[in-house]
Every structure is written in C-alpha cells, then in structure tokens.
Amino acid sequence: MKKTFCLLLVVFSRLIFSQTELKALINIKIDTFSVKEYNPDEIPKEFRKIYIEFGYGDHAIINPKEVEVLKNAVIKSIDLVYTKFPKDQDLSDLNRRRIEYLHLLCPSIFNNTMTKWSIITQTNCISEKKAKSLYHGFVVIYRPAATAESIAEEIFSLENCWKNKLVKDSSVLKIFIRNKWENITVVSDLTGSMSPYLSQLFLWYKLTFLTKDFSEFIFFNDGDMKSDNIKKPGKTGGVYYCKSTNRDTVFKTAINCMRRGYGGDIQENNIEAIILAINKNPNLKEVILIADNWAPMRDYYLMSQIKIPVHVIICGLIPGMPINTEYLDLARNTKGSIHTVEDDISQLIYIAEGKVIQIGGFEYKIIGGRFTKIRRS
C-alpha cells in the first residue's frame, strides 16, 4: 500500500537537510510502499537488474563493487527494501544513512530526475529471525552505459537496416508519416541505445529522398569521448553536420559520429547541436530534434538562444514513464511541439503559469516558467 505524500515530505526534509554538504546533492522524491514481501517488477527490454545489499539493521553496503556497473548507466528505478521490525521502531534515520552510503559509492545515479525512487517496507515478519530472512538492500533497474562493443553492435544493426531497409520498431516512422514536414533539418542524439530510432529515420530519409523532405542533418554524441569533468555547456563538441543531398554521405556522417564518441555521463549536448544547425542555415524555419527521453540536457539553460520552433521526437518512452520535462520546456519556449508514438502535442506556448496539462497519463504544471510533473492522472 502506498503511503501519503505528506509523510514523504517529512521523511525527506530530514534526509535533505540533515547534512549541509548533501543538501543540493541528495534532492530526490521518493514514494513509500508497504508489502508483505518484496517482489521486483519485470525488467523492460534493454534494461538489467542489480541487487545492492545491506544487512538487517545496518546501513553499510555488503557488495560495494557491484555498484561500479551503475556509473554512467541510465537508472530506471531504485527500490530501497527493508523490514519494519520491531514494528514500533522508527527506521527513517537508518534508511537515510543507507541512501547516503549509496550516494558515497556512486553519486552520479542521483542526478537523473527520470529515476523512480521507492522505499518499500516488508511487513511479513513477526520475529527478528523472520525479518532477517527477508531481503534488505537496494534493487536497481538500469540500462548499461554504452561501450565500444555495444556501439559496434549498434553500427552493425544500422548497416543492415541501411542495406536491407529493415526496422524492428516503427515509433519514429509513425511520427514522420503523421506530420508533413518539408525541407527540414534533423538534429539527432547518437549516443548509446538510439540506433533503433536512427534506423527508422534513415529508412524514412531513403523513402522520401526524391521529395526533398530533408534539408540538413546534425548528429551529436556529447563530446567525442571527452572527459565529463571538462565538458562545458555549449562547447562540449562531438557535433557533426552534413547536407541531405547525398544519401551515403548522410549515413557515413552518422556512423562516424557514433564511432567518435558515445556519451560518457547521461547528459547530452542537445542545445549546442540545435544552435549549430541554426548557424549553418540562417534561413532555417524549424528544427526536428530526435531525443532520448532518459537523458537530461547538459546545456538546458542555453535554450533561450533558440528563436525558431523545435519539434521534439521523444524516444525511449516506456509504459508508465513520464515525458522528460526538459523537452516539454524546450518545445514550449521555442513555440515547437512534442511527438510520441501516440500523440502530437502542440500549442504548449499557450499554457500559462500555474496551469495544468495532462499528457500520456501524467499531469504537469507550469511553475516558475517550467513544466513540473505533479502526479499520475
């Protein structure tokens, strides 16, 4: 059973403000649930599961080396699982120390607002012996960070698609079919796990080549393997431009972009790539951005430099997942639109401060000029 949100705020004000140096870093929203015994959710395709254990009544993680695989990974969800025993004892301080210990081992997993956090209390224990027999620890569902090997596999898949016009997914194709864009510039994220969507873009490009639907392409990889600590918003690099007049040149440019870099941390240089598109073509009227819903923008605060509409195609959206509010902000602030496999959402610019909009089973509110997810509808 899910507990009230007000209780959560009390628990997490203690977590956030208990230590000054952690105030800005551990700033997460957590749901709390009570169950008899914990059973983890099924894992979506392309994701994996890891168990990070701590002892009954203890905060220290028993298998800290397991945490290393989470560096630069996309974290779907983190469950903190424990037993409420003794039943009359307040264990919130113990759970706070457990979260702080995890943060000490891998602070980067706390940076993505798309991660779903839960504290799950197991209640099927009438004795200390029974409580100790139940699982205690974090359960993390994650998409592994890209590697040279995984990128090589993605390139192989793209080459097969390019030669044989075969795709395993049709979500991006459906969006292009619904929307009659002409003479467009496409800006596309080419970091890890984007190949299924890129293959659809290439297929549509080949099918419409003679109609001149596409004008130019910008591909970006967030820095050409540059170390994360020297990446600067707007100057990260790893951005590749080509005109659409030669099909093989477009494909080779994309493959070169993938080989030169595949991300690093989870942030991406979307705005930098869009600004390059505008600088390359001063007469550009609008941009199509193909974005990974899991990835926040490294250069979010530079979006005020964009003066033309950006139409954002959201990739990686899975059932029960909200749209990344940074992309909603980008579409609204540029008078653009949001596109998913099911919906085309425009007119976002007309949503006033304090108003609420429902998109894909979630409600969002404009607070301080930005979208904020407030609840599931």
274 SS3 class: helix
Which DSSP symbol is given to 101? Answer: H
In this prediction, residues 189-197 reach a mean pLDDT of 89
- Calpha distance 293→301 (Å, rounded): 18
pLDDT digits 0-9 by tens, 237-259: 999 999 988 889 999 999 999 99
pLDDT digits 0-9 by tens, 275-319: 999 999 989 999 999 999 999 999 999 999 999 999 999 999 988
pLDDT of residue 263: 65
| Residue 39 CA to its chain's centroid (Å) | 25
Residue identified by tokens 């003066």 is 307
Strands lying side by side in the sheet with 362-367: 356-359, 362-367, 370-376
- Calpha distance 144→147 (Å, rounded): 9
Residue type, 41: D
pLDDT digits 0-9 by tens, 158-174: 998 888 877 877 889 99
pLDDT of residue 22: 39
pLDDT of residue 215: 87
The pLDDT confidence band at residue 101, using thresholds 50, 70 and 90, is: very high
Residue 94 pLDDT > 50? yes
For the chain, the structural domain boundaries read 5-143, 148-376
Residue 105 pLDDT > 60? yes
Q: How far, in Å, are 27, 166, 176, 251, 313 from residue 173 at the CA level?
A: 37, 12, 5, 17, 11
The CA dihedral of 50, 55, 56, 58, to the nearest 10 degrees, is -120
Residue 211 pLDDT > 70? yes
pLDDT of residue 12: 44
- Calpha distance 259→263 (Å, rounded): 11
Mean of the per-residue pLDDT values of the chain: 88
Fold exhibited by the domain 148-376: Rossmann fold (3.40.50)
Question: Same topology for domains 5-143 and 148-376, yes or no?
Answer: no
The pLDDT confidence band at residue 45, using thresholds 50, 70 and 90, is: confident
pLDDT of residue 301: 96
Closest residue by Cα to residue 32 from 16, 53, 17, 10: 10
The pLDDT confidence band at residue 11, using thresholds 50, 70 and 90, is: very low
Q: Select the more confidently predicted residue: 269 or 17.
A: 269
Residue identified by tokens 């401060």 is 353
- Calpha distance 21→131 (Å, rounded): 34
Residue 349 pLDDT > 90? yes
Fold exhibited by the domain 5-143: 60s Ribosomal Protein L30; Chain: A; (3.30.1330)
Answer yes or no: are the C-beta atoms of 322 and 288 closer than 8 Å: no
Which DSSP symbol is given to 135? Answer: -
- Calpha distance 31→201 (Å, rounded): 37
In this prediction, residues 51-80 reach a mean pLDDT of 94
pLDDT digits 0-9 by tens, 134-163: 999 999 999 998 888 999 999 998 998 888
Q: What percent of the chain has pLDDT over 70?
A: 93
In this prediction, residues 60-70 reach a mean pLDDT of 94
Answer yes or no: are the C-beta atoms of 54 and 98 closer than 8 Å: yes
pLDDT of residue 363: 95
* Token couple for 322: 């909200």
